[in-house]
Amino acid sequence: MLQTKQKGFTLIELLVVIAIIGILAGIVMVSLGGARANARDARRQADMRQFSTAMEMCYDDAACGAGNDAYIASATLPTVIGTFMPAVPDDPQAGLDYGWVCNIAGVAPCPAATNSQDYCAYAILEGGDTATTIQAIFAGPGGVREKAVADADNNRVPDAGEITLAVCE
């Protein structure tokens, strides 16, 4: 009697292929994690350039001068630069806000009543941290720059006094 060989894959062969695909997918996902963080940091840098441009336009137009607190989050930035940047962007990572510091004393009014162009918007970046510092990008009168700032309690959130105009320069 002649037996015909059935065509197809065995269960073991299919499971091996699925396992290999799963391992490769895991490797790809891990490698893309860094790319996502870099993309969020690039967006933060672009947002800081927008803040800087909007503030410079505000000062050029002499429209800046509304009183605000020394540190304000994204939700209240439109009161300062509303006509020059009507849609203030949020940090691309949920739960984080961009920060804002103004005038040398760090107190209202902000921008400074003397129209001295003292301001600093900043965003915390995702890479380059150490035990006592965090990497941040700053936008101020001198342009946009990246640098490490103190983070004494290592909570990745700047506390009062850790971000000042002097740090921003």
Q: What is the DSSP letter of 169?
A: -
Q: What confidence tens digit (pLDDT) does each residue in 55-81 have?
A: 778 777 765 654 443 344 444 555 667
Range from 24-28, 84-88, 139-143 that averages highest in pLDDT = 24-28
Show me where the domains of the chain are located.
14-168
Q: What is the DSSP letter of 123?
A: E
Question: What's the pTM value of the predicted model, to 2 decimals?
Answer: 0.67
Q: Name 153's Cβ contacts closer than 8 Å, sequence gap at least 6.
A: 159
Mean pLDDT, rounded, of the chain: 74
DSSP 43-107: HHHHHHHHHHHHHHHHHHTT-------SS--GGGTHHHHTTT-SSPPPPSSTT---EEEESTT--
